[in-house]
Every structure is written in structure tokens, then in C-alpha cells.
């Protein structure tokens, strides 16, 4: 399922037109991204928690040459699934 299909499912479930449902889905995703980028965790009860994770700088190795390289620190998005979501996926 892609974003367009998700918006169509929201539109069908709540008797909305596709443009309104698309705007709602976009707003939800953009809000989650903005809050996580601001280092706030976003918790959706029964679904999971989106968070910003830190990766420290480290030494890596170029797989083609074997040369050591320095990998800069970075931040990545992280997601931890809620127990309810895990159970749903597992079929329990």
C-alpha cells in the first residue's frame, strides 16, 4: 500500500473526498516528521513510537579498497512497534 492507496482507504472509511483524505494523510506524516526531527518522540497508542536515534561517529572500511574511512555522526528515524501492533501482525 502506498500513500495514495492509504488516502483512498481513509476517504472510503470516513466518506471524504480524495483530496481531503490526501491532505489529512500528508498532514499526519509531515507532523510526525517535524516532531521527530525536533527530537520529540511521537507515540501513537496501540501502534508504536517514532523517535530520533543518534549514531555516533565511527571508523568504517571501504569494502572495495579496504581503506579505513571516518563515518560522521548522524541522526536517523526510529520506530518501535507497540505490543498491539505486534499481535495484529502475528495474527494473535
Q: Which helix (H) or strand (E) holds 80?
A: strand 74-81
- Report d(CA 90, CA 46) in Å as an integer: 14
pLDDT recorded at residue 22: 97
**How far apart, in whole angstroms, are the C-alpha atoms of residue 70 and residue 73?**
9
Q: What torsion, rounded to 10 degrees, do the Cα atoms 14, 20, 26, 32 define?
A: -50
CB-based contacts of 90, cutoff 8 Å, min separation 6: none
pLDDT the model gives residue 92: 82
Q: What's the whole-number average pLDDT of the chain?
A: 96
Give the tens place of pLDDT for each residue, 37-82.
Answer: 999 999 999 999 999 999 999 999 999 999 999 999 999 999 999 9
pTM of the prediction? 0.83
Contacts of 57 (CB under 8 A, 6+ apart): 70, 71, 72, 73
pLDDT attached to residue 52:
98
Can you list the domains of the chain with their CATH numbers? 3-90 (4.10.520.10)
Amino acid at each position: 500500500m502506498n500513500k495514495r492507496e492509504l488516502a483512498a482507504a481513509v476517504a472510503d472509511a470516513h466518506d471524504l473526498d480524495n483530496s481531503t483524505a490526501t491532505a489529512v494523510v500528508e498532514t499526519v506524516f509531515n507532523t510526525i516528521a517535524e516532531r521527530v526531527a525536533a527530537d520529540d518522540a511521537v507515540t501513537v497508542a496501540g501502534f508504536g513510537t517514532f523517535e530520533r536515534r543518534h549514531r555516533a561517529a565511527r571508523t568504517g572500511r571501504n569494502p572495495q579498497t579496504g581503506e579505513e574511512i571516518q563515518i560522521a555522526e548522524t541522526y536517523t528515524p526510529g520506530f518501535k512497534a507497540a505490543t498491539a501492533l505486534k499481535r495484529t501482525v502475528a495474527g494473535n
